[in-house]
Amino acid sequence: MEKVIITIARQYGSGGKTIGQMLAKDMGIPFYSREILRLASDDSGIREELFNRADERLRNNPLFGASKKVYKGELITPDKGDFVSDENLFNYQAKVIKELADKGSCVIVGRCADFVLRDRDDMVSVFVHASKEYCMARAMERNSMTEREMEKFIAKTDKYRSDFYHYYTGNAWNDARNYDLCLNSGKLGFEKCVEEIKAYIDVRFR
């Protein structure tokens, strides 16, 4: 296959983003994560600050996980009152994700990219997870928090990612059926996770 897009969803502390960066470097293809917010801002003309605020607002909304607004591909035009609604901010992120996938091979982390690109034959979706102990230990190396603070932070972050995924896709974030590959980074290590993704691509496409 001439082109492949790898999407990565991940538990906090599992190293999914690092694995994505390593994979992109190894394959010589672009890597995208929060850059998508800047690109969506450039495309829509909506300030990037509003995209960041939307993330933080949803993160702190206790009712977020109980609702959903499944993405259907539409964009709200600037003349409408809800042009800068949370849903339309996501719509523009999805538009950018689709355009990046059209341009060529790349690795995209987060942003429900697997769902946005679900109809593409050249997309490989990956979920990276690890044990609670592994995620805690790795997160403690990178942050100056007490263990109790870190435990709460990880739980809150993963809940937000789960709620965000459910809200825009209607699916469960940690359901293995949503992904082509589910990899335990704590058991495999980062380099072997990269090898496994590349091996899957070889088997599936070549």
Domain CATH number, residue 160: 3.40.50.300
Spatial distance between the Cα atoms of 49 and 45, rounded to a whole number of angstroms: 11
CA atoms within 13 A on the CB side of 97: 28
Q: Which residues pair with 8 in a beta bridge?
A: 109, 126
Across the chain, the runs of DSSP E, i.e. the strands, are: 5-10, 31-32, 106-109, 123-129, 181-184
Give pLDDT < 70 ranges for the chain.
1, 55-56, 59-66
Question: What integer pLDDT is reported at residue 54 of this predicted model?
Answer: 76
For residue 6, CA distances in Å to 36, 95, 113, 123 come to 15, 17, 9, 6
Question: What integer pLDDT is reported at residue 35 of this predicted model?
Answer: 93
Question: What integer pLDDT is reported at residue 85 of this predicted model?
Answer: 82
Total number of domains constituting the chain? 1
For the stretch 46-51, contacts whose Cβ atoms lie closer than 8 Å and that sit 24 or more positions apart, written own/partner, are: 46/83, 46/84, 46/89, 46/92, 50/84, 50/89, 51/89, 51/93
Q: Which domain holds residue 97?
A: 5-205
Q: Per-residue b/e over 125-148, b at no fewer than 16 CB within 10 Å?
A: bbbbbbeeebbbebbbeeeeeeee
3-class state of residue 166 by DSSP: helix
Do 14 and 129 meet the contact criterion of CB atoms below 8 Å apart?
yes
Question: What integer pLDDT is reported at residue 150 of this predicted model?
Answer: 92
Q: What's CA 166's distance to the chain center, in Å?
A: 13
Do 105 and 27 meet the contact criterion of CB atoms below 8 Å apart?
yes
Tokens (6 digits) for 140: 């403690």
Q: Which residue has the tokens 């470097």?
A: 25
